[in-house]
Amino acid sequence: MTIGMDDAAILAELERLALLAGAEIMDVFHAGIVVEEKSDHSPVTEADRRAEIVILQGLRAAFPHIPCVAEEEASAGLLPPALGDTFFLVDPLDGTKEFIKRRPDFTVNIALVRKGVPEIGVVYAPAQGTLYSGRPGKAYAVAVGENHEPLDRSEISVRGCAEPKTIVASRSHRTPETDEFIDRHDGAEIVSVGSSLKFCLLASGKADLYPRFGRTMEWDTAAGDAVLRAAGGRTTLIDGRPFTYGKRNQAEDVDFANPWFVAEGGAKG
């Protein structure tokens, strides 16, 4: 049955699918991880594929008229011919490198984009038992049990301007430009974490800035960005212009590739 376009109902369905995908991922995590290599030399596992199948089957059943852009399908050249104003972005296993190294900061990412803006998103960290989600005006942290069932839910929001700032940096993708940005903030505390959990630290008021001066794809960022925006934060290009989604036919890069950006909680960069 097609689910109506009420934002609360959409968010509930995205949460449900993320939890199901997380269960698939943890099955592989406990059974043993076999790593393969995609055409771009990035790693992929059975967990990526199983999680994406669960998510896409659910999205296409519940929202048959909304196109889906998913990482593994995109890697295989399977992209919608047209997106329109509304579409889903899916990263079934963000932080594959963390997953392979058996670190707990890998996530399931599902986002709904409207007119270039990620408005509804879910980030589930199954090894941590935590799910973050957001829709316009509401953002949540949800404690999740061992059987991937939601338990306690609490609203979250970005914090006010903090000094010194807490800056979130990628564990696997630090660049000289990132270090230069950090150096401009005297006394800043640096937190390193993998995957889209960086956005969620800002959204839950535990950090202030997340600079990303390196390559990402839209499915890497959309869900976390949606949670951050729902919690009162923002993401912009490094010159302050809007950071948008649905980028195709880019002269300087492939479809859905992101430029550099800075995500902010309550503190200004």
Question: Residues annotated as binding site for Mg(2+)?
Answer: 71, 91, 93-94, 220
Burial 74-85 (b: 16+ CB within 10 A, else e): beeeebeeebee
Can you tell me whether residue 141 is helix, strand or coil?
Answer: strand
Q: Are 135 and 11 in contact (CB under 8 A)?
A: yes
Of the CA atoms within 13 Å of residue 104, those in its CB half-sphere come to 6
Q: Are 118 and 222 in contact (CB under 8 A)?
A: yes
Can you tell me whether residue 259 is helix, strand or coil?
Answer: coil
Of the CA atoms within 13 Å of residue 174, those in its CB half-sphere come to 13
Binding-site entries for substrate = 71, 93-96, 220
Residues contacting 239, CB < 8 A, separation 6+: none
Q: Are 100 and 43 in contact (CB under 8 A)?
A: yes
Quick one: tokens of 28? 């592989």
Say how far apart CA 106 and CA 197 lie, in whole Å. Answer: 8
Binding-site entries = 71, 91, 93-96, 220
Q: Are 134 and 230 in contact (CB under 8 A)?
A: yes
Of the CA atoms within 13 Å of residue 63, those in its CB half-sphere come to 20
Vertex 88 angle, CA 82 and 93, to 5°: 125
